[in-house]
Chain A
Amino acid sequence: MSNKSENAMVNLTIDGQDVQIEAGATIIVAAEKLGIKIPTMCYLKKVSTTGACRVCLVDVEGVDTPVTACNTVATDGIVVTTSTPELEKQRKDMIRLMLVNHPLDCPVCDAAGECDLQDICFDYHVLDQPFTAEDVAVAKITDWPLIENVPSRCVLCEKCVKVGYELTGIGDFRVVERGDKAYIGRKDSNQIDPYIEGNAVAVCPVGAMISKPFKHSARSWTLDKVASIGFAGGSLEQVDLNVKNNKLYRITSQDDVTINDGLLSFDSSFGYGFVNSTERLLAPMVNQGAVEWSEALKTVVAKAKELGGEAIAGLSSARLTVEENYLFQKLFRAGFKSNNLDSEARFGMQRSSEQLSKVLGLRGASAGIEQIAAADAVLVFGSDITSEQPQINYQIQKACRQNDAQLLVVNMRQVRIAEQSNCFLNYVPGSEAALAGALTKLIVENGQAADAFLKKYVKNTADIKKSLAKVNVEKVAKAAGVSVELLKEVAVALGEASSVALVFGGDVTKSAQCVETTQALANLAMVSGALGGDAGGLFPADEKPNMQGLLDVGVCPESLPGYQDYAKGSAKFAQAWGVAALPEGGMNAEQVLAAIEAGTIKFLYLAGTNPLVTFPESGRWKAALKKVEFLVVQDILSSELTELADVVLPAAAYSEKSGTYISCDNRSGLLQKAICPAGEAQSDKQIFAQLLEGMLGKSQSLCNQTILEELAGLTDLFTEVGVSGETYLSSCVKQGYAPAAAALTFSACAAATPTKGLQLISGKMHAHTGVTSTYAAGALEIAPEGYIEISVADADKAGIADGAQVSVKSAVGSASGVARISGYVPQGILFAPYHFAGLNIQQVVPTGQNTVAVEISKG
């Protein structure tokens, strides 16, 4: 199936109605176009047809026997009849055969109420069973994590298998045995970070695939579905929050609405449990004692007034909405008179974003992520994309499967997507920028550079040759630990492709070489022509849902909302906010940490962020937070952090508030409030607004639209503000990206600075996101605690056994946890997920890095 096929059309007649469809389409698609419903059990539009259930039988004139509508390609002039007494009888028999040994346990089956088999039996009045067969179904499989399989209920439609193979690409279900003994089994996969295909539960037409976290908790028909967006990964998948009695029960999605087409990330499928956690903060606290909201807020306001803006700093989060982050920076700048505000983005995406803006004039991705699916080659650079942004992975899978695209993966570890790549470059930390430079050089040398694009858009075309001349491909390959041949192969694949999608992620944005690598990737994007055209593009990926929105509203000391220079724009904002002037100066997160240590910052406000676990040098942050005179923590869950706080403000979780998230590709999505906040918790927006009122004595609107309009009036971020859409709601439209003529800069190529010795990488694992997921039972079932992945060779050398307690020590700190021997990290590399407070690997990692030289020892 190629998207380049000619759009020839065929005409056919179905039940007396004429219809025209594209050549190659099946009868069922044509019928759907006419609004004729052909019953089926195994047909799923988004995967290849199976033709297993035989329920969709139709008559075609001139053909002796009925044919299956789902996988029979319509040919010109055929006359189809979808319903005759004989067909109905045959269909009914097919259903009876499916029911032969199907247990009639609908009362205890979670699928009841949304079961296709139930529906079809009802529609066809299947009330009797003339057939008998020996029941050879295997027993219920309960030892898989998160999913329970009931083979006796299975109709072998293979949807679960196909979703995993064709759409997410990483699912591991398969059909085992044959004939009547066939059932769905699971391949042995990654034991350390196993992937469970949550979408299998959603596509299962019966109750064979059951989600364990949801099992038996509610009947499907009692749940209200509230359309919202996903809480993890910067791609904003469409979700329906299934709620009842003010509790979130599960998350589902709908097909054909937006780019995710009903596919959910692991987090939405299983990781939502933190919303209902017993660890939720329920009441405001001052000095660890529960108080009224008014008193807590009064305490904060009084302290802020007493200490003055100079002594106040705040850190926000990409989990908060655009409106909330806008109010956060407004509260700080106009209310607290402090420009000491920052976020976790400082150690990651912020730096990349600055570079992309500098050299390409680009903020976020250059195009919508659906353009990845249309690309001829996809380069995934320094990103565990299946974990970081599953929706981008789905687009990559589409590109590979529907467009036969080349998949090229460049990573330090054998990440999940590397298994499917055409070429995999396993590089040594510190060589990423040089590697991108070498690829750029090879493309230019091969004469495959997008010369027309470079000539039109790049202002320093003359520098391209000059800076590439300094690159020595052989040297780079040696330093990076990859073979020159493989490097050349990747370059050829990129050069030959007519459109290239370049995806990079946390291993680039959080690395010490972030600036150089981002510039090198921008060069590569220009040379490979990724920035022009309607396929491919440059896509920075981040695991946080609103990373782009956080950057857009200027939660950093150097810029105001809409990336306006702080010093230049402050007069305009001061006037709009009705204050005399905005404070001067301002400290970023690193400087705030130093200032707390020096004692000049006495008041720290943490909104939805936990430096004790997620920030590099978390040990240093811990000492600083203990020292700070007044610590305000606004969060949803209690932790070590809230225990340190002087004031705790309980915030509403993501299903309990509304607001805008902006995806990595600049789409907006509207979060909908599905349930009331837990206990006395209030939305972050409400809290900021009340504090702002306390500081300024002026009322602050809570209306999302009003806040967005205020933001739009002060910036040129949006072309339109207003809610649109039904199932997927969008609250604003952002400016699209189009490079201006002679506006792009080709940067100098950086040399490789490969690291020596054992290196530890901290990063995201697929089941967890941030720290919140460590409060979700579903995510904990995959990984209950942190671990340190170590290669067999390194483990042998250090005499470490799988599961042994080890400690790692770097120049900035040490951490200890369980060692897991793994084939996914090469020799010389250790990997540890950063989510866990117990392991707290970030203690070991210096600021501005994600890799660090360590020593490992037993115990």
Chain B
Amino acid sequence: MIKEFIQGLSITAKHLLPGHTTTVEYPKQKLEIAERFRGLHRLVPDHDREKCVACGLCPTVCPAKCITVEAGEDENGVKYPKVYQIDMLRCIFCGYCVEACPVEAIEMTGEYELASYKREDFCFTKERLLK
């Protein structure tokens, strides 16, 4: 019986040895995220402007109702989002906006470090989303 006991403890001890811990020591250490991870949104640029045409499908499909789009028209008669805003406090990162987009103008990045001290910081405007 003792033998089995020692055998068991040795496994435990092995795990205590350096290099064997399963804990990821965030933020010193960060995991590599999966390719299809759904983090912060990004508006895809197209030349000098955003690809988005302000069709309004993403706010329509959004279950958390966190997207605000206001359409405008530029001097060439092209429809564009005058306002494009995501309230990250309400977003549930479901990715439906990406799925709904008919022009592939929005995608989700691996960015997940979104904590902030101020409420206003969670409101991601078009300019921030284009970065």
**What residues of chain A have their CB less than 8 Å away from a CB belonging to chain B?**
106-108, 112, 140, 142, 215-219, 221-222
- Pull 8 A–B residue pairs with CB atoms less than 8 Å apart, ordered by A: A106-B102, A107-B55, A107-B79, A108-B53, A216-B79, A219-B56, A221-B60, A222-B56
CA distance A112 to B103 in the complex (A): 15
Nearest CB of chain B from residue A219's CB, rounded to whole Å: 4
Of B57, B72, B103, the residue contacting A216 (CB under 8 A) is B72
By the criterion CB–CB under 8 Å, are B102 and A107 in contact?
yes
Nearest CB of chain A from residue B46's CB, rounded to whole Å: 14
Q: Given A216-B54, A216-B72, A108–B60 Cβ distance below 8 Å?
A: no
By the criterion CB–CB under 8 Å, are B55 and A108 in contact?
yes
Which residues of chain B are near A106, meaning CB under 8 Å? 55, 102
Which residues of chain B are near A218, meaning CB under 8 Å? 56
Nearest CB of chain A from residue B52's CB, rounded to whole Å: 9
Which residues of chain A are near B73, meaning CB under 8 Å? 215-216
Of A108, A142, A221, A222, the residue contacting B79 (CB under 8 A) is A108
B8 at the interface (CB under 8 A from A): no
Which residues of chain A are near B53, meaning CB under 8 Å? 107-108
By the criterion CB–CB under 8 Å, are A107 and B72 in contact?
no
* Majority-rule SS of A interface residues: loop
Most central of B56, B59, B102 by chain A CB within 10 Å: B56
Nearest CB of chain A from residue B61's CB, rounded to whole Å: 11
Render B74-118 as a binary contact track against A, CB cut-off 8 A, 1 for contact: 000111000000000000000000000011000000000000000
- Given A108-B55, A142-B77, 11 other A-B contacts at CB below 8 A? A107-B57, A107-B79, A107-B102, A107-B103, A108-B53, A108-B54, A108-B78, A216-B54, A216-B79, A218-B56, A219-B60
Of A112, A142, A215, A217, the residue contacting B55 (CB under 8 A) is A112
Which residues of chain B are near A216, meaning CB under 8 Å? 54, 71-73, 79
Please give me the residue from chain B that is nearest to A107 by CB atom: B55
Please give me the residue from chain A that is nearest to B82 by CB atom: A216
Which residues of chain B are near A108, meaning CB under 8 Å? 53-55, 78-79
Please give me the residue from chain A that is nearest to B72 by CB atom: A216
Please give me the residue from chain B that is nearest to A108 by CB atom: B79
Nearest CB of chain B from residue A152's CB, rounded to whole Å: 13
CA distance A222 to B60 in the complex (A): 8
Which residues of chain B are near A107, meaning CB under 8 Å? 53, 55, 57, 79, 102-103
Please give me the residue from chain B that is nearest to A219 by CB atom: B56
CA distance A218 to B72 in the complex (A): 10
Which residues of chain B are near A219, meaning CB under 8 Å? 55-56, 60
Nearest CB of chain A from residue B117's CB, rounded to whole Å: 29
Which residues of chain B are near A217, meaning CB under 8 Å? 71
CA distance A814 to B57 in the complex (A): 56
CA distance A106 to B77 in the complex (A): 15
CA distance A106 to B54 in the complex (A): 11
Nearest CB of chain B from residue A160's CB, rounded to whole Å: 21
Which residues of chain B are near A222, meaning CB under 8 Å? 56, 59-60
CA distance A108 to B56 in the complex (A): 9
CA distance A213 to B64 in the complex (A): 30
CA distance A221 to B73 in the complex (A): 20
CA distance A744 to B55 in the complex (A): 63
CA distance A221 to B77 in the complex (A): 23
CA distance A106 to B60 in the complex (A): 15
CA distance A728 to B54 in the complex (A): 34
Which residues of chain A are near B79, meaning CB under 8 Å? 107-108, 216
Which residues of chain B are near A215, meaning CB under 8 Å? 73
Nearest CB of chain B from residue A741's CB, rounded to whole Å: 64
Nearest CB of chain B from residue A137's CB, rounded to whole Å: 15
Render B40-63 as a binary contact track against A, CB cut-off 8 A, 1 for contact: 000000000000011111011000
A-B pairs, 4 with minimum CB distance:
A107-B55, A216-B71, A219-B56, A108-B79
Nearest CB of chain A from residue B63's CB, rounded to whole Å: 15
Which residues of chain B are near A112, meaning CB under 8 Å? 55
Most central of A106, A107, A112, A142 by chain B CB within 10 Å: A107
Which residues of chain A are near B78, meaning CB under 8 Å? 108
Please give me the residue from chain B that is nearest to A142 by CB atom: B77
Nearest CB of chain A from residue B106's CB, rounded to whole Å: 13
Which residues of chain A are near B77, meaning CB under 8 Å? 140, 142
CA distance A140 to B73 in the complex (A): 14
Most central of B54, B60, B72, B79 by chain A CB within 10 Å: B79
CA distance A108 to B72 in the complex (A): 10
Please give me the residue from chain B that is nearest to A216 by CB atom: B71
Which residues of chain A are near B71, meaning CB under 8 Å? 216-217
Please give me the residue from chain A that is nearest to B101 by CB atom: A107
Please give me the residue from chain A that is nearest to B103 by CB atom: A107
Which residues of chain A are near B60, meaning CB under 8 Å? 219, 221-222
Which residues of chain A are near B55, meaning CB under 8 Å? 106-108, 112, 219
CA distance A108 to B54 in the complex (A): 7
CA distance A112 to B56 in the complex (A): 11
Nearest CB of chain B from residue A142's CB, rounded to whole Å: 7
CA distance A216 to B54 in the complex (A): 9
Which residues of chain A are near B56, meaning CB under 8 Å? 218-219, 222
Nearest CB of chain B from residue A373's CB, rounded to whole Å: 41
CA distance A219 to B60 in the complex (A): 9
CA distance A221 to B59 in the complex (A): 11
Nearest CB of chain A from residue B92's CB, rounded to whole Å: 20
CA distance A469 to B16 in the complex (A): 125
CA distance A136 to B55 in the complex (A): 26
